[in-house]
Amino acid sequence: MTDALLTLNAGSSSLKFAVFDPHTLACLGRGGVEALGGDARLQFRPAKGEAFSDRLGRGDGDAPLAALTGALDTLGKALPGLAVRAVGHRIVHGGAELAAPVRIDDAVYAALAKLEPLAPLHQPHNLAGVRAARALFPQAAQVACFDTAFHRGHDFVADAYGLPREMYDAGLRRYGFHGLSYEYVSGRLREIAPEIAGGRVIIAHLGNGASMCALRDGRSVATTMGFSTLDGLPMGTRPGQLDPGALLYLMSASGYDAAALSELLYHRSGLKGLSGVSNDWREIEAAGTPHARDAIAYFVHRLVHEIGGLTADLGGLDALVFTGGIGEHSVSLRAAVAARLGWLGLALDESANAAAQTRISAPPSRLAAFVVPTDEERQIAEHTAKTAFA
């Protein structure tokens, strides 16, 4: 038997996973299951050999359990003899108290379940993945790795809202998210450009979920997401920054209740709502309609606006890093943002940008710019190995 470390990122309709050697952290393969609860499909790419896909079907009962069971059955044929010794889980919300990876026992699970109202789009599905893994691997260490943990330690002014202090003390504060991605990219930047990574850096994690983080010497100083995953930048289906008075208006003038507001804010807003096309950036770029162009312009505007604020928080800026699905793959988005940042001294190397090279700023640029692919699974694996086998 070969020891294995499994990482899981369970969502509402998909399950991402990766398999690592727990001793060397060499990746043995990565994959995912799409259409959970429906006609589920598995895709897997082993580190050695050809990628393959498999149709898992609907399954019975709990969708993550059915998907994980089917995925492992298929993986057993591709990577025979695996013995899962630890499972690392991406957990979106750790609250104010859970600020480091932790082994999941019944008490930790109960504490995480209480945080579901703070991240209703993610936390329940993350915990469904935990239940599935605990059922399939009762002897394996289960480790929670938090997207919020990277942002703990902010100054009070970076986390507080202008609400009565007792609300802050009760947990109504800015938490920030995408921390696993920021932690990984920050570490990679130290390898790529150590002389810059120790300075003032903004990382832009741009995908269906989007946020930015200001770092000083690799530590989070401020971030655009706040109490929930709705705040900050516009996203695939979420609005980003929004005057709360608009919500009060919808409640009083249009009869929206909490359920209707949740549906609007989590599923019908952002790039999808603005463009009238899709929440997929590639489809919006290809559409070429007036509303699609407006959505792109608004996204760029909000990015540049938030970069200005985060630069002020840092007292200047040494580097801007693009990551995430849009940040890593959209040449035009990076060019549009760079065109608005000449005042910060950013000069783009157009050929490097077109090729998505690691460094995309031109040699004379005062502000360095990079494209660094994120790898949350690798970060989860590192945390899980240290926590489970220390």
Catalytic residues: 147
Give DSSP secondary structure letters for 243-297: -HHHHHHHHHHH---HHHHHHHHHHS-HHHHHHSS-S-HHHHHHH--HHHHHHHH
Nearest alpha carbon to residue 33 among 25, 24, 42: 42
Torsion of CA 329, 331, 334, 338, to 10 degrees: 160
**What is the token pair recorded at 57?**
């079907």
For 354-390, give one letter per residue: b (16+ CB within 10 A) or e: eeeeebbbbeebebbbbbbbbbbbbbbbbbbbebbee
Q: b/e for 272-299, b at 16 or more Cβ within 10 A? A: bbbbebbbbbeebbebeeeebeebbebb
- Which tokens is 370 given? 């990079």
Whole-angstrom Cα distance, residue 70 to residue 302?
Answer: 42
Burial of 111 (0-12, 13-18, 19+ CB in 10 A): middle
Query: Residue 206: beta bridge partners?
Result: 210
Closest to 376 in 3D by CA, of 329, 303, 320, 323 = 323
Number of H helices, E strands in the chain: 16, 13
**How far apart are alpha carbons 5 and 9 in whole angstroms?**
14
Residue spans of beta strands (DSSP E) within 47-81: 52-57
